[in-house]
Structure 1
Amino acid sequence: MSDSQQSLFKYDISAISVADTLTPAERYQELFVAVQMQRVFADSKTFVDCAPRQQPEAILEAYRARCDDPDFDLRAFVDEHFSPFEVPPTNFVANPDESLADHIDRLWPVLTRHPQEHPAHSSLLPLPYDYVVPGGRFTELYYWDSYFTMLGLDESGHCDLLRAMADNFAYLIDTYGHVPNGNRTYYLGRSQPPVFVFMTELFEENGVYRASDYLPQLLKEHAFWTDGGDALRPGEAHARCVCLPDGSLLNRYWDERDTPREEAYREDIETARDSGRPAHEVYRDLRAGAESGWDFSSRWLDDTERLSSIRTTRIVPVDLNSFLYKLEIQIARLSEVKGLDDHARSFRQRAETRLAAIDRYLWNEREGAYFDYDWCLQQQRANLTAATLTPLFVQAASAAQAERVADIVRRRLLAPGGLATTESSASEQQWDRPNGWAPLQWMGIRGLQYYGHDALALQIEERWLSIVAYLFERESKLVEKYVLRQCADHAGGGEYPLQDGFGWTNGVTRKLMQEDPRHEAHRCRAGSCAAQD
């Protein structure tokens, strides 16, 4: 094994239990189907996160022996044999005398999990070190969430957690060949936007580890995303790779499975029934949409009012290919650091080739923005989204392109509360108007700053902090997503209620507050508006 491929094991593998990767559907079979389809739990995710009270084989055998009894009570059976995942108890209460930054700093321990004990035969994948979860129903580590959470951990001085999470991600890549969507068995078929490359930069900037320590893992992640691409001919696709008409290779989101998502089993079956398409195609598109992190958005739909029209695997996304461009640039740079000059040249050429394809297929000269591309129809999608800023975030745009993107964002995506996700307000999906999301604010702000569009970046920053502070003053909490205007409404849409917590909101807000010490958000206090009401 070459130096560039040798994994740097900073974690003690012997201390980690061997992962049992059977998913709940595989383990419990017809019992799983019955629980999900009969809506034993209001949220389909509840059952897949349960831990069995005895050996799973014995539970399934008991179910098969009793399920046909006339008086069989499925809910009672589940209560008898499973323990729902319980969030560790906490006495956390918002303090009206604390600043928003102090509130966030006190939340980190509440959101931190200590993985020394994993429930036997549960869906939770073991990790070697402590990690931070988003909050609410999301009780496991999530991939792209974690980068934005780390921004705040860094600002709060938690280098220990940054180091622990760095090694957790290295462990996941070394163990599974990629970072799963989250550390649950039912997430193993997919990843999320590949942001480990940005984590390595953060680790290096803050003295946690050298970015070059992670070259083996960056190479493995690149291999995961580009698997099978070299054998494709124009018009063909395999897994996450698409070969375009001129022979260029770009990427799409994907999932190894084409079955209903286990954490949304009943909902996915109902969506497929509404589609008029082969069910397995719809399931794959739903899963790929989950890999995108934008689950779900009009961005992936043919009909903005019907989730069943989802076509994620047909779409070559701007943000994914921007992230992979950054990954290739980083691999080239770190290969040079390691003295692997041939390797560096190879990946620099890959990055240049990808950038040329991005400009050819995803840049729209007439509109002055980047758009996703439908590789089956061989045409750009028409919907402008906040993803148009990701080429700026990875510094892949020219100065002229960045200026035009800034102009269209100012005119069409700037909302009273920050950067709008899309222009679509007809959709019932959560990654659409009127909702705004912390990671999109961060990437948009940073991307604009890289190209000198500081005034627009500052507008987005100030508006976002104001909307976060507004809800904090009214309800003493931070949430997953926000309606981008000051109102009593909560952000809605999607498959589940609004979640409190919330990892990436905390992280981005904490970082932006540090960069804007004069913003009114520093003066807000928990529940101050509610007290006045």
Structure 2
Amino acid sequence: MTLQINPSAALKNLLEQEDLDGDKRITIDDIGPKKFDIEQVNGNLYTIEGTYFLSNLLQELALAIKKGNKTNVTISLDNIFEEPSHRISRLIKEIYWDSLTRNMDKKGLLKVLLDEKVSQEYFYIYVPFNDKIAFEYYTQISKEITKIKVVKLPEIISPEFALTINNKPGLLSLALVEKNKTIKGEPFVVPGGRFNEMYGWDSYFESVGLLNDKKFNLAKGMIENFEYQINHYGKILNANRSYYLTRTQPPFYSSMIKEYIEKTKVTKSWIRQKLNTAIQEYETVWMVEGKRLSNNGLNRYFAEGIGFVFETEEGHFKEIIEYYAKKFQIPYKEFENDYKNREIDCPELDEYFLHDRSLRESGHDTSNRLVNKCAHLNTVDLNSLLYKYETDFAKMIETYFKGEFTSSKNKIYTEKYWLKKAKNRKKLINENLWDHNKGMYFDYDFNLDQITDFESATAFYPLWANAASQEQANLLVKNLLPLLKCKGGVVSCTENSRGIIDADNPGRQWDYPYGWAPHQMMIWRGLLQYNFKRETKELVYRWLWLITKNAVNYNGTIAEKYDVVNCTHKVATEYGNVGTNFAYIPDGGFGWMNASYQYGMSILTKKLIKKLDDLVDPDELF
């Protein structure tokens, strides 16, 4: 059945009656009657009741108007009364991925130039030294859009240079391709909200969702842009903004390539090209001694740079700056300005920011696991990811190159070469990161020469990477999983490891009680690889129930992160919560949250999906 209505009039009347707090959403917090008589074009009335169904009506009206249908439109009642899980999944596939897609060509440039994190007088586009096509292309565009300024980067990008352009923040160019004499940008998906650029590890998790939804062109575009970044910036960037030039993010490139190949048809030459750049990244980013490779043969996050982390909001480092201002007996603002301008020498503060940039490189910004120590840690997550690189390289060389691969620099790599590296890394992980007494993985502080005791969801990364023995997996599920499992899914760390929140130990967004999509997805896949099917389905259900419950009650909201203890998207922590501030309908949701929903739905049984639509409390099921 359908309704024939005037969407503009219906939207106006609906908001006046139901949206009493004026946020252009209908939620359980609104105190309207939650019963609306919608007038059809023929004069007949149709009554819709309940928060969820009224918010669906609001969304459908907004979508119709957005398409240009302002006076007469047909609204399907199937969409209004759609089961929650089906609606969320359908909107992600049909609308949200497109809403989050960007291109750095003339057609798409204006959409991606905006950066809410900084104030901008001009839109700067930074182009690599040796990309002549991009420089000419953007220079031509800048003649038409005079607010755009195009800058060619130096051949060697040093931390000192990166510091000099902090007062002119801008976009770093990505891959362009010429087809039929027209230049187009390779597409990529942004996380959403203020994160309006291509991010490192976000892109992997987004690609899992894209491949699940058969958005193969988008997944391929992400891989092409990563290859461009390795070739032109020397690394996969934290994100393609100028203030991210000196740091990368967790390495997932081999997984993106491998999973894309498994879902699509590609040429051997394409695989060769991508494998070549993945090996290049492994060797030149991660395996350089004295930087991201520590003396014990394991790896650490080590983001280069000078002074302040640029992209944080005003006052983020207030406590640490106040401490050193008092120590130097200089007024706060004066000390802050002098330090930013490098007019004051403070090695201790320099080291603090080395750790801070490195924890941002880890993606876990911020967590008590890493604050003021990250660059001294061989973390479980990073070394598991690099073990996965080594085994992925071995598998691809075996499968597509008969056990022997010759790089573009004529270096020969064999399957055995990479398996030997993986075997050695696994040995080092077990020697340094595995606690036999507790039956858990922990990070290793090589500066203090001791294993840490911070109980984190990242301890499950070895399962995802297939780096654990079955016995180790059994112990993790027995010893750690019960400590991390909450009503709404897996929490980032235990409350005990986080510690008591006070002035000296502020709440951090990657700690208890918050849960994040990448942790859930990696734990699910890891558990499945070790045949923990029942445990996986329970964790998937808890997480999807949390997302679904909040979407039903809050106008379709899909947030960046959730409080998995109190089961809400309303969080009081650093940076707030992206994806919760929108009008009418979520503006793309949030990238990796979308992906976790789509991947999770592929794991659940039909019986559990029915329970999910009925919002059956997970504690009643498990």
Same fold (TM over 0.5): yes
Distance 2:611 2:193 in 1: 25
Q: Offset at 1:292? A: 0.5
Q: Is the 8 A contact 2:194 2:578 kept in 1?
A: no
The 3 A distance-change label for structure 1 pair 354 and 523 is: closer
Residues 33-432 of structure 1 correspond to what in structure 2 (within 5 A)?
A: 91=66, 96-98=80-82, 99-105=87-93, 106-117=95-106, 118=109, 119=123, 120-121=148-149, 123-128=170-175, 129-207=186-264, 209=266, 211-229=271-289, 238-244=290-296, 249-264=297-312, 266-267=314-315, 269-274=317-322, 278-301=348-371, 310-336=372-398, 337-339=400-402, 340=404, 343-344=413-414, 345-424=416-495, 425=498, 426-427=500-501, 428-432=507-511
TM-score where L is the length of structure 1: 0.73
Q: Offset at 1:392? A: 0.5
Question: Are residues 1:448 and 2:536 paired?
Answer: no
Structure-1 residue corresponding to 2:560: 480
Distance 2:272 2:610 in 1: 37
The 3 A distance-change label for structure 1 pair 130 and 378 is: same
Distance 1:478 1:444 in 2: 21
Residues 487-502 of structure 1 correspond to what in structure 2 (within 5 A)?
A: 487=567, 490-500=570-580, 501-502=589-590
Structure 2: runs of 5 or more not aligned: 1-64, 68-74, 110-122, 124-147, 150-168, 176-185, 325-346, 406-411, 502-506, 581-588, 616-622
Q: Is the 8 A contact 2:562 2:569 kept in 1?
A: no
Query: In structure 1, what residue type is equivalent to 2:88?
Result: L
**Mean alpha-carbon deviation: is it higher for 513-522 or for 161-170?**
513-522
More strand by share: 2
Q: Is the 8 A contact 1:100 1:525 kept in 2?
A: no
Helix, strand or coil at the partner of 1:300: coil
Helix, strand or coil at the partner of 2:467: coil
How many residue pairs align between the two structures? 417
TM-score where L is the length of structure 2: 0.63
Query: In structure 1, what residue type is equivalent to 2:105?
Result: Q
Query: In structure 2, what residue type is equivalent to 1:508?
Result: S
Helix, strand or coil at the partner of 1:262: coil
Q: Offset at 1:419? A: 1.0
Distance 2:209 2:570 in 1: 24
Q: Offset at 1:459? A: 1.3
The 3 A distance-change label for structure 1 pair 179 and 411 is: same
Helix, strand or coil at the partner of 2:312: helix
Q: Offset at 1:443? A: 0.5
The 3 A distance-change label for structure 1 pair 353 and 195 is: same
Helix, strand or coil at the partner of 2:193: coil
The 3 A distance-change label for structure 1 pair 159 and 522 is: farther
Q: Offset at 1:209? A: 3.5
Q: Deviations over 1:430-473 (max 9, x none)?
A: 00111100110010011111111112111111101110101110
Q: Deviations over 1:486-506 (max 9, x none)?
A: 555613322344444300000
Question: Are residues 1:458 and 2:537 paired?
Answer: yes
RMSD: 2.5
Q: Is the 8 A contact 2:463 2:473 kept in 1?
A: yes
Question: Are residues 1:510 and 2:567 paired?
Answer: no
Distance 1:126 1:360 in 2: 42
Distance 1:108 1:396 in 2: 32
Percent identity of equivalent pairs: 30
The 3 A distance-change label for structure 1 pair 404 and 525 is: closer
Q: Deviations over 1:55-106 (max 9, x none)?
A: xxxxxxxxxxxxxxxxxxxxxxxxxxxxxxxxxxx949x9644511112122
Distance 1:156 1:514 in 2: 10
Q: Is the 8 A contact 2:514 2:565 kept in 1?
A: no
Helix, strand or coil at the partner of 1:490: coil
Distance 1:431 1:208 in 2: 38
Distance 2:533 2:259 in 1: 22
Q: Offset at 1:202? A: 1.4
Query: In structure 2, what residue type is equivalent to 1:100?
Result: I
Structure 1: runs of 5 or more not aligned: 1-89, 230-237, 302-309, 527-533
Distance 1:393 1:332 in 2: 17
**Mean alpha-carbon deviation: is it higher for 388-397 or for 115-124?**
115-124
Query: In structure 1, what residue type is equivalent to 2:379?
Result: P
Q: Is the 8 A contact 1:296 1:430 kept in 2?
A: yes
Q: Deviations over 1:4-63 (max 9, x none)?
A: xxxxxxxxxxxxxxxxxxxxxxxxxxxxxxxxxxxxxxxxxxxxxxxxxxxxxxxxxxxx
Q: Is the 8 A contact 1:268 1:283 kept in 2?
A: no
Q: Is the 8 A contact 1:390 1:443 kept in 2?
A: yes
Query: In structure 2, what residue type is equivalent to 1:241?
Result: L
Q: Offset at 1:165? A: 1.5
Task: Indicate the structure (1 or 2) with the bigger Cα radius of gyration.
Answer: 2
Helix, strand or coil at the partner of 2:311: helix
The 3 A distance-change label for structure 1 pair 387 and 525 is: same
Q: Is the 8 A contact 1:97 1:525 kept in 2?
A: no
